[in-house]
Structure 1
Amino acid sequence: MQGSIKRNIFVAATYAGVLLLGLLLGQKYADEQGNNQPTSLLTGGLTGNSEKVQYLINLIADNYVDKVNLDTIQDEAIQHIITRLDPFSTFLKPNERLAQTEALEGTFEGIGVEYFNLNDTLFVVGMIAGGPAEKSGMKIGDRLIKIANQNIAGIKVKEKDVERLIRGKKGSTVEIIIKRNKEILTTALKVVRDQVKVSTLDASYMIAPKIAYVKIRRFGHQTAEDFKVRLRDLKKAGAQDLILDLRGNGGGYLHAAIDLASAFFKEKRLLMYTEGVNELRRDYFSEEAGDFNEGRIIVLINEETASASEIVTGALQDLDRGTIVGRRSYGKGLVQEQFDFADGSAVNLTVARYYTPLGRCIQRKYTRANYDQSKYMTTFDLWTLDTEFSTHEMYTTSKGKMLFGGGGIQPDVVIPIDSNEVSSKYREIYHSNSIEEFVYDRFTRKLPAYSIENFLSGYHLPEAEFNAFISFLLKKGITVNKGEASRLHEIIQSDIEALVGRYYFGREAYFKIKNRRDHFIAGAFHSLGVPMLMH
């Protein structure tokens, strides 16, 4: 591949498994217009039968009876071709490519506010510290009434329409009318748009004496550097052991995964290698003397831990550097490389497989399922993936641990699935956004008179509030019988408490509260030989 078209290699999953409590305005900026000029489907270097595709496009352009949008035709042709390859090669339209880039780079131009659509009104539930929205005087709990003199309250406003109003060039100003404490402010807030940075680290704190906890949402450009900064503070606070939470982390940049894994080794070690038909083997090593090369490491994984997260997990497991706790990971052992088109769209093309230090490829098997053209844009609908391990691919670590290739990474300590968490009733409640609606309508009318420390140590949802939530569900048409209410009490209580804490004290508080009753965390403590009281 020529250097002129080669882009950063990354390992990106196409699903999201992280519990998001709102949307960073402008995070998915939509460039709907794109470039109206037709572009060549073939970028050069293709001969023989490959010319048939371009020849067909030219035939349509010069001879077809009606006027057609050649950009759309070419995009659909690319989509169709890509879906015939593997589950992870994807075609991204310009707005999709930009959204992916912003998510992985961790920056975007906007105002840095997070909202929830509550009763057709955008309710501010979070802000980037020191960001444009906060500087303008906006506060958590404000309701957005007008943006750029356009009413957005009391109507079913579309997400992309809000983003179009909010987003803009750095240095430009947008005026926003807000409602605060039941009163609409007559003077608009003038928010100066800026470059906003969003960390991929959701939480980092001392979960117990000498034990640090770090939650990583995805592997972006700044992840490893942010981790080093947070780790420095944690070590000053006495951290000797680390719980690294990669649950729900669907991947990101390969180089970020390598940089992070390097922090855990004293000397240069092979962390992984990649290889493909058109890609020679390439080895990736750790740097010498990583910042956390001695303390014990517990890695938390689940079925939504994929790609770059599996690179880190596989290296630590193969090299006997960490204990893996949780459930079998997703099993994505393919590496994508991004190639750009002139109109801003791109192809994420699978170019190689990656292998753990012992030579394991943890990619699930995949086979073509019945092809349905109407579903070509939904790649995973077209594939059947096998979750079985390759039992003939057995590996042994230096300490005698037996590992297998294929089907993801099997943890050293397995945490059983919580039947309540996967129950149809809980999923119905969860996906209805009822918990958010209940919390933001009921618990946000005034700020608490206590500190985050008192909240974390002493607050528990009163029984009357839980019963009020069950009644709230009934009004929404979701019936919960006594047996279901009893079985789901703990998980719903934890969700409500965590969301209340997040609203009052920020994103990190959410994880601090959820971790109080987390069985994965309990498994990590047990592996470290430390008792944990579930409360």
Structure 2
Amino acid sequence: MSPETRKNLLAAATYAAVLFVGLLLGQSFVEQDSKNTSGILPSVLVDKSGKLQRLVQVINDRYVDVVGIDTLQDFAIKQVLSHLDPHSTYMPPRLAKALGEELNGSFDGIGLEYYRLRDTLMITALTPNGPSEKAGVKIGDKLIGVDDRPISGVNMKEHEVAAIVRGKRGTVVNLWINRNGADLAEPFKVVRDKIVVSSIDAAYIIDTAVAYIKIKRFGAETASDFRKNLNRMKQYGVNKLIVDLRENGGGYLRAATALASEFFKEKELIVYTQGAHEPRTEYYSKGGGVFEKGMLAILIDERSASASEIVAGAVQDLDRGIVVGRRSFGKGLVQDQYDFDDGSAVNLSIARYYTPSGRSIQKSYKDGLEKYFNEINRRYISGELMQDEGKGVLDTSLLKGMLYHTSSGRPIYGGGGIMPDIYVPIDTLGANSFYKKVLKANLINDYVYSNLVATAPDFSIDHFLSDYSLPRNTYTDFVETARSQGIEVNNREAEVARKLIELDMKALIARFFFGSEAYFKMKNDSDHMLARAVEALKR
């Protein structure tokens, strides 16, 4: 392509970008957990003469080179959004659909999960009584073909596999399976159906009267899932609760307020939102929550964001419970989703949210997107995440003019995430260079699924969690496998990381045979942050 052609394309993209500024800024406000499907409103375009629309049409009809208008428009939208805030983003159709399904908690499919083991997809989980399980598919089977398309050995991307496996409810898909090393002669005929995915990863009683609930996202059914699980445990006398929001990146605003409402009596302010074009909107608890009374702890870390921070902020501001962990991500912007006819969408920030005390926990993004998203890495470098409680863990720049108080008068800070009441640094024992290398290479998963799940344990989940030991010489063989795959091995580092890696192995085996909850039970048994929360609640 000649320099002149590049120049012309750039000019065309610039004009298209201006066009889409008008489109984006002209949209009306809809709450975060709904979608604006009214389409584009020509009357709100800043260019009333129609020149910009005509330009796009002229480029399409007369330009010297073939230009994909859809591509040009996508480029223009991304360029516009890149000059706004870090969370105003464009989503192509596939991503927009996947996000919607994830947050709504259901999709039409066949009810299985898989892991790419070398060039084959190994089935690692099945929806209980779901389409695949009903058809006879088993955990540990290898998926080698779908209908008339081979899957094994063709390096098909994850979204490509999902696209051919999922489909309209009631339709049939043929799954070709390799079981125990042999290709089965006939495919399993699986009838697609609605697959419901809970936003709760684990819910169980840790010990007498202390319940634990792990929430992975804030979707349409989160509050309902939470109530069902907690009510089940309350019948055993639970009066203390730990809600784990670590690594929970958020979701729907109303899902966060609905969950928080379960902890407060009626008409407590949970959060309010406000933007340049949005009046202050307040969200209050409804009363009748499933855990209005009882001792409460919220677990957060540096990857807890948005809706997670709304819940933690309300609990902290109103002195409803204790927040345990590390400073949260710091995302205090509310997005609204605007759909385009082709299935793509824009998530546009339309307001900031504020905790009951008036805190905005949004961290600064004035230095650009790269520094904004790498801020967590700087916490590692500065030592914040590894420091002990009360020893300068909070960046002093966050304390200037950001002081607030809880309802009882305790000092709290805004402008850079939620700072926990009890700070628990990262447990660095074992998480050394060798551990990070094998994680990056997915070697722990590869090794477990290749070597440790061929035979199901012949005892119960409780027995497994309390007494299971890895086969003799497993770790020695694992280290040699790492070395054979080009990972530099320092024997001392490998030995220091041994306990952590073996725990990860046992947790993966537990999930493979007993499900997600067993995975978290195994991991939580050695979790220092959880132990601090239990200790605090018992005090």
Task: Please indicate the TM-score interval, normalised by the length of the shorter structure.
Answer: 0.7 to 0.9
Give the aligned partner of residue 440 of structure 1: 449
Letter in 1 for 2:276: V
Give the aligned partner of residue 194 of structure 1: 193
Q: 1:469 to 1:43 in 2, by over 3 A?
A: farther
CA shift, 1:187, in A, is: 2.0
Letter in 2 for 1:309: S
What do the CA deviations read for 1:271-294 (whole angstroms, capped 9, x no partner)?
010001100000000011311011
What do the CA deviations read for 1:202-225 (whole angstroms, capped 9, x no partner)?
000011110000000000000001
Give the aligned partner of residue 166 of structure 1: 165
Q: 1:270 to 1:145 in 2, by over 3 A?
A: same
Q: Is the 8 A contact 1:420 1:426 kept in 2?
A: no
CA shift, 1:75, in A, is: 1.0
1-structure distance, mates of 2:401, 2:199: 37
Give the aligned partner of residue 102 of structure 2: 103
Instruction: Select between 183-192 and 244-253 the one with higher mean Cα deviation.
Output: 183-192
CA shift, 1:456, in A, is: 1.1
Give the aligned partner of residue 397 of structure 1: 406
Give the aligned partner of residue 269 of structure 2: 270
Supply the RMSD in Å over aligned alpha carbons.
2.4
Give the aligned partner of residue 479 of structure 1: 488
Give the aligned partner of residue 30 of structure 1: none
Give the aligned partner of residue 455 of structure 1: 464
2-structure distance, mates of 1:425, 1:115: 26
Q: 1:8 to 1:280 in 2, by over 3 A?
A: closer
Q: Does 1:525 align with 2:524?
A: no
Letter in 1 for 2:481: F
Could you say what secondary structure the match of 1:517 adopts?
A: coil
Could you say what secondary structure the match of 1:514 adopts?
A: helix
2-structure distance, mates of 1:159, 1:319: 44
Q: 1:439 to 1:280 in 2, by over 3 A?
A: same
2-structure distance, mates of 1:61, 1:155: 37
Structure number having the greater helix percentage: 2
Give the aligned partner of residue 254 of structure 2: 255
CA shift, 1:56, in A, is: 3.7
Q: Is the 8 A contact 2:433 2:493 kept in 1?
A: no
1:373-384 equivalent positions in 2, closer than 5 A: 380=370
CA shift, 1:7, in A, is: 4.0
What is the TM-score normalised by the length of structure 1?
0.87
2-structure distance, mates of 1:395, 1:463: 55
Give the aligned partner of residue 359 of structure 1: 358
Could you say what secondary structure the match of 2:506 adopts?
A: helix
Q: 1:507 to 1:402 in 2, by over 3 A?
A: same
2-structure distance, mates of 1:4, 1:74: 17
Q: 1:499 to 1:5 in 2, by over 3 A?
A: same
Letter in 2 for 1:408: G
Give the aligned partner of residue 330 of structure 1: 329
CA shift, 1:446, in A, is: 1.1
Q: 1:452 to 1:363 in 2, by over 3 A?
A: same
Q: 1:305 to 1:10 in 2, by over 3 A?
A: farther
2-structure distance, mates of 1:53, 1:89: 23
Q: 1:233 to 1:154 in 2, by over 3 A?
A: same
Is there any run of 5+ residues in structure 2 with no aligned partner, and where?
A: 1-23, 379-394
CA shift, 1:340, in A, is: 1.3
CA shift, 1:494, in A, is: 1.2
Give the aligned partner of residue 302 of structure 1: 301
Q: Does 1:225 align with 2:224?
A: yes
2-structure distance, mates of 1:82, 1:3: 14
2-structure distance, mates of 1:180, 1:73: 47
2-structure distance, mates of 1:280, 1:90: 23
Q: 1:3 to 1:67 in 2, by over 3 A?
A: closer
Q: 1:411 to 1:399 in 2, by over 3 A?
A: same
Instruction: Select between 386-395 and 499-508 the one with higher mean Cα deviation.
Output: 386-395
2-structure distance, mates of 1:396, 1:266: 21
Could you say what secondary structure the match of 2:143 adopts?
A: strand
Is there any run of 5+ residues in structure 1 with no aligned partner, and where?
A: 12-39, 370-378, 531-535
Q: 1:527 to 1:274 in 2, by over 3 A?
A: same
What do the CA deviations read for 1:325-362 (whole angstroms, capped 9, x no partner)?
10000000010011111221111110000000000000
Instruction: Select between 245-254 and 339-348 the one with higher mean Cα deviation.
Output: 339-348
**Matching residue within 461, 469, 488 for 2:497:** 488
Percent identity (aligned):
46
Letter in 2 for 1:392: G
Query: More relative contact order in 1 or in 2 (CA 8 Å, sep 6+)?
Result: 1
**Matching residue within 508, 520, 533 for 1:511:** 520
What is the TM-score normalised by the length of structure 2?
0.87
CA shift, 1:396, in A, is: 1.5
Letter in 2 for 1:468: D
2-structure distance, mates of 1:395, 1:197: 41
Q: 1:224 to 1:382 in 2, by over 3 A?
A: closer
Q: Is the 8 A contact 2:430 2:499 kept in 1?
A: no
CA shift, 1:42, in A, is: 6.9
2-structure distance, mates of 1:247, 1:391: 27
Give the aligned partner of residue 31 of structure 1: none
Q: Is the 8 A contact 2:26 2:41 kept in 1?
A: no
1-structure distance, mates of 2:84, 2:347: 12
Q: 1:475 to 1:45 in 2, by over 3 A?
A: same
Give the aligned partner of residue 390 of structure 2: none
Q: Is the 8 A contact 2:335 2:347 kept in 1?
A: yes
Q: Is the 8 A contact 2:257 2:283 kept in 1?
A: yes
1:197-216 equivalent positions in 2, closer than 5 A: 197-216=196-215
1-structure distance, mates of 2:40, 2:67: 16
What do the CA deviations read for 1:411-469 (whole angstroms, capped 9, x no partner)?
01111123357644322211211111111111111111111010111123356212221
1:333-344 equivalent positions in 2, closer than 5 A: 333-344=332-343
Q: Is the 8 A contact 1:42 1:54 kept in 2?
A: no
